[in-house]
Amino acid sequence: MGRMEWLVEKATEIGFNKISFLDCKFSERKSLRVDRIEKIIISAVKQSRKGWKPVVEPMIPFHQFIDNCTSAGQKYICHCYSEISKLDFFAEANQSLEEDILVLVGPEGDFSFDEVRYAMEHGFKSVTLGDSRLRTETAGLFAVMISQLARRV
């Protein structure tokens, strides 16, 4: 099982509604086997006894995703650029208890500086997940966990 497949399995067990895979400037992976991801999600839904199956969207270019993003609720982008001020994601999630949360987690080499700026220009808040530089799958799972924890506190 690859790292993204592991992320999808564990995030499904914790709980999320939808996952989108973005083709970013520094993305190493340019395609995705949605059928395989769907099978992993179905298995994780059964194992964790979830009442719903998360939606898997096919890979989409970063700018197209941002341009088409109609998410109600709070929108965040996690990144590692020290030149851009960041809010603490845990604190932000705790303030958004009744709203949907959309979190962008960068690819292996992070988002490009321009991608972060573009997202911010379209209403995304710049956030940090802490002081450590995390792998994509770790950051994604951490963001799901924080979002769920905020709703249970």
Note down the domain range covering 51: 3-152
CATH of the domain at 78: 3.40.1280.10
Between the ranges 28-42, 62-76, 132-146, where is the mean pLDDT highest?
132-146
136 has a pLDDT exceeding 60 = yes
DSSP class of residue 142 equals H
Residue bearing tokens 């249970």: 152
Q: Over pLDDT 90: what percentage of the chain? A: 78
Confidence of residue 97 (pLDDT cuts 50, 70, 90): confident
Largest CA distance in the chain: 43
Number of structural domains the chain divides into: 1
153 has a pLDDT exceeding 60 = no
95 has a pLDDT exceeding 90 = no
What local confidence, expressed as pLDDT, does residue 30 receive? Answer: 77
Q: Among 150, 135, 23, 31, which residue's Cα sits nearest to residue 78?
A: 135
Helix (H) / strand (E) containing 104: strand 101-105
pLDDT in tens, 38-91: 999 999 999 999 888 999 999 999 999 999 998 778 999 999 999 999 999 999
For residues 1 and 91, the model is more confident at 91
Dihedral sign, CA of 88, 95, 101, 76? negative
Write the CA distances from 125 to 64, 88, 93, 116, integer angstroms: 18, 10, 11, 10
Helices 3-14/34-48 angle, 10° precision: 40
